[in-house]
């Protein structure tokens, strides 16, 4: 349908609002123009319920045990799934036990990725194994065999749920030239 209005305030993804909701003659940018923009990263997220208490983890944990420059290059300069991803782990139940059942943990994992990559269950599974192997090695404990709930969220989900251009997680990248 159509709704006549003098002004519209939209808080959605700018690309989606402009390219999908506004008539072509009123758009500020072409699709080709949008393709030249640098988007902020996307993310591969894992939401885990772990059926035991975990050792050697705090509420916030950064795993920068691989080369930051290489990971950044694989996000911005030569976009691809990272060869040795850095990641963040949040174990909220460490500081708020009400977020998980007794003697269990609520774990959130974030792997920064380039926007616009091919997103598949196979890639999500591969990176789950990569991240979990390193997490287990660094914390010196078995975790995978104790996961009772596992959900993932990545580019396809950002696109579907938020109409996010190229599956980015944060909008346009903060650069000086755009």
Strand 42-50: give its sheet, edge to edge: 60-63, 87-91, 105-113, 42-50, 147-153
Asked if residues 93 and 79 have their Cβ atoms less than 8 Å apart, the reply is no
pLDDT at 91 over 90: yes
Counting beta carbons within 10 angstroms of the beta carbon of residue 2, is it exposed (0 to 12), middle (13 to 18) or buried (19 or more)?
Answer: exposed
Average pLDDT over residues 61-76: 97
DSSP string, 120-156: -HHHHHHHHHHHHHHHHHHHTS--GGGEEEEEEE-HH
pTM, to two decimals = 0.90
User: Measured between alpha carbons, how far is 43 from 121 in angstroms, rounded to an integer?
Assistant: 14
Look at residue 137 in the predicted model and tell me its pLDDT: 98
Look at residue 8 in the predicted model and tell me its pLDDT: 79
The predicted-structure confidence for 95-115, as pLDDT tens digits, reads as follows 999 999 999 999 999 999 999
Look at residue 94 in the predicted model and tell me its pLDDT: 96
- The class of domain 40-167 in CATH terms is alpha beta
Neighbours of 78 (CB within 10 A): 8
Domain ranges for the chain? 1-36, 40-167
More confident position, 23 or 130? 130
Averaged pLDDT of the chain: 95
């Amino acid at each position: 349908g159509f709704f006549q209005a003098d002004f519209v305030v939209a808080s959605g993804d700018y690309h989606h609002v402009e390219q999908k909701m506004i008539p072509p003659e009123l758009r500020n940018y072409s699709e080709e123009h949008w393709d030249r923009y640098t988007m902020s990263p996307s993310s591969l997220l894992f939401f885990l319920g772990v059926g035991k208490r975990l050792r050697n983890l705090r509420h916030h944990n950064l795993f920068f045990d691989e080369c930051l420059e290489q990971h950044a290059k694989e996000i911005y300069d030569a976009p691809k799934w990272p060869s040795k991803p850095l990641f963040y782990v949040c174990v909220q139940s460490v500081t708020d036990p009400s977020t998980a059942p007794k003697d269990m943990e609520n774990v959130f994992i974030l792997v920064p990725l380039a926007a616009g990559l091919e997103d598949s269950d196979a890639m999500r599974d591969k990176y789950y194994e990569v991240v979990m192997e390193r997490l287990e090695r660094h914390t010196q404990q078995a975790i995978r065999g104790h996961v009772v709930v596992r959900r993932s969220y990545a580019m396809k989900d950002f696109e579907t749920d938020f109409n996010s251009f190229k599956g980015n997680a944060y909008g346009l990248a903060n650069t000086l030239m755009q």
